[in-house]
Amino acid sequence: MVKKKLNCWEYMKCERGPGGKKIAEHGICPAASEDTFDGINEGENAGRVCWAVAGTCCGGKIQGTFAEKRVSCTTCDFYQHVQKEEGAFEKINKLFDILPAKERESLFSRMRCRVVKAGERLIKQGEIRDSAFIIQRGSCLVIVEKQGELHPVDHRGIGDIVGVTSILTGEPQIAHVDAETDMELWILKAPMLNDISLEHPDLSDFLTEIVASRFDSMRPIADRTISKYIASDIIGRGAFSIVYKGLHTDLNMPVAIKMLKHDMAMNPDFFAPFKAEAKILAKLNHQNIVKVYDIEERYRTVFIMMEYLTGNTLKLLLQSTVRFSNERVISFLIQICNGLHHAHQSGIVHQDIKPGNIFILPNDKVKILDFGLACPTGSENFLAGTPFYMSPEQVRCLPVDPRSDIYSLGLVVYRMVTGRKPFDGDDLWKVMEMRTECDVLDPAEIVPDIPGPLRGFILKACARDPNKRYHNIPEALATIKSLAEEYGLVNGESYKPKRKMQIFYLVHEDSVSQMVSAIVNELSTKMQHMGAELKTGELLDL
């Protein structure tokens, strides 16, 4: 049985960890709440790298920043305990397990050993290296320097490899690496690493996975220069890509930069569609579709430069709102339809319409995101889409067309109106099968007061048989035209004019009160014909 590794609050018994008795008095320990370090050294949050977190309490005293306390922390009993435990833990060295024994021996014979002292900087942020290090003994901290401040972001120990990023990608190092203890390192030169990677694709894949994981950090990242753009912070992440907040340096214009993860970039099945997404978006110029400005192939991957959006995805909004008002549903529906119609007119089927791919700006304007699965009308793709929102023909791997997007949109609208997914469950295969075997539950059974045109849209859009659905977006929009007019919506946006109010006082003698009342009534009638209202109050004696 593997012994559980203790977190700092368990080892020190400070009772400021999760559920501790002293939380009410002193607050939870910052190491226990700093989840961006979660998992490092197999600890909970920053429980086994507490020296990297500012404001921890040791010996009854609140500690300062990482830079202020890093020297004193090395004398801490818990720090020494972790170093001993990590040093005694035998990691499986995948780097060498991949190589045949003969080549492994040859590689070792060509590597040199280097000894460094605690506190020495092994790697400098921003430098381009021609060698990497394999840790034989000791440990080190990975530290990002940003705007003059030092941010510990990771921890490396025996068996780990450091400095490999710039060798594989050609990009400057993304962080400093400082020896945390005395260390013994094997030096792995770039030509040697490149040669064995070419001979052993499994090794190349392994190293690329390391690079991909290190770019996808929850901690602060160093600014990265990609041509005339600078990527500064991670603002989104998915299975295949990372999205950064960026800046066009020449125009001083904010952008979003979407990067294909390096391990995916090595796979043609992901690389080609990612580039295709950029090309598709570049030609779709519509106010309800996110704009693409540029595409760059650098550092052995692809970057898509897009407009920077502020707001939230529909998915996030639905997490905090049980259901939307009918007016808001119709507004979003019309705008999504407008964007989809533009794509369909260009021969493109989105294939992944879902709440996570609908972005809502602060003024309730809608942008359709992520055309990564988009394809020409009539394409056949193997289970492309998201299980909860795929059309029956996508589940069956049959050709798709605009009606497939309309079906997915119907499910999204169902979710907005009822607060429920029409098909739900833990078994994704069963959820997808339900799509081909069952009709959606009538939304009126959940929301009895749903407007007839909106109910009709959902039921027809979500028909299992594509021939029974709307054949195109204009046909679907015609169904809700009356509702749009009722709510004063044009293209999903309100056209109701702003109203103004003017105040004036009418002062008169009692003797002319009847004549004044007649004139006021006549004026009120004329104003009503203009769409204005004349309101009067009680008479006051002056």
How many angstroms from the chain centroid is the CA of residue 258? Answer: 10
The alpha carbon of 329 is separated from its chain's Cα centroid by a whole number of angstroms, namely 24
The stretch 476-501 carries a mean pLDDT of 72
> Which pTM was predicted?
0.73
Q: How far apart are CA 392 and CA 505, in angstroms?
A: 67
**Domain 94-215, CATH among 2.60.120.10, 2.60.120.280, 3.40.50.880, 3.40.50.150:** 2.60.120.10
Contact 249, 228 (CB under 8 A): yes
**Which segments of 165-246 does DSSP mark as H helices, in order?**
165-169, 190-199, 201-215
What share of the chain in percent tops pLDDT 90?
30
Of the candidates 154, 178, 263, 352, the residue annotated as catalytic is 352
Task: Choose between 210 and 170: higher pLDDT.
Answer: 170
Sheet of strand 224-226, all strands in order from the earlier edge strand to the far edge: 224-226, 229-237, 241-248, 253-260, 301-307, 292-298
Distances (CA, A) of 61 to 57, 65, 69, 173: 5, 13, 12, 36
DSSP conformation class of 468: G
Looking at the DSSP bridge assignments, the partners of residue 137 are 184
CA atoms of 293 and 253, how far apart (whole Å): 11
Q: Reduced to 3 states, what is the DSSP secondary structure of residue 170?
A: coil
- For residues 490 and 118, the model is more confident at 118
Give the pLDDT mean for 300-326.
89
Sorted by sequence, the CB contacts under 8 Å of residue 233 that are 6+ apart come out as 220, 221, 244, 245
The rounded distance, in Å, linking the Cα atoms of 35 and 16 is 16
Token couple for 530? 């203009």
Q: Decide if 294 is catalytic.
A: no
Helix (H), strand (E) at residue 10: helix 8-12
Q: Which CATH architecture has domain 224-307?
A: 2-Layer Sandwich (3.30)
What distance in Å separates the CA atoms of residue 247 and residue 79, rounded to the nearest whole number?
40
Same fold, 224-307 and 312-494: no
Which of 19-28, 40-49, 109-118, 510-519 shows the lowest mean pLDDT across its residues? 510-519
How does residue 495 score in pLDDT terms, banded at 50, 70 and 90? very low
Tell whether the model's pLDDT for residue 260 goes beyond 50. yes
Q: Would you say 465 and 437 are in contact if contact means Cβ atoms under 8 Å apart? A: no
Mark 16-25 as b/e (b = at least 16 C-beta within 10 Å). Answer: bbeebeeeee
Sign of CA dihedral 517, 523, 528, 533: negative
Most confident of 84-98, 328-342, 513-527: 328-342
Which CATH number fits the domain 312-494, given the four candidates 1.10.510.10, 1.10.3210.10, 3.30.70.260, 2.102.10.10? 1.10.510.10
Higher pLDDT, 344 or 264: 344
Distances (CA, A) of 431 to 318, 387, 419, 442, 465: 20, 7, 18, 18, 18
CA angle 227, 229, 234 (to 5 degrees): 125
Residue scoring higher pLDDT (382 or 476): 476
Confidence of residue 89 (pLDDT cuts 50, 70, 90): very low
Domain ranges of the chain: 8-88, 94-215, 224-307, 312-494, 500-542
| pLDDT tens column, 419-459 | 888 777 677 677 777 777 788 889 999 999 999 999 999 99
What integer pLDDT is reported at residue 300 of this predicted model? 86
pLDDT of residue 49: 84
On whether the CB atoms of residues 129 and 167 are closer than 8 A, the answer is yes
Q: Smallest Cα–Cα separation from 262: which of 302, 227, 222?
A: 302
Q: What is the reported pLDDT for 475? A: 94
> Among all chains, which residue has been given the structure tokens 């609208």?
413
Asked whether 399 and 380 are in contact (CB, 8 A), the reply is: yes
pLDDT at 530: 55
Q: Look up residue 289 and give its DSSP letter.
A: B
Say which range, 150-154, 172-176, 471-475, 489-493, has the weakest mean pLDDT: 489-493
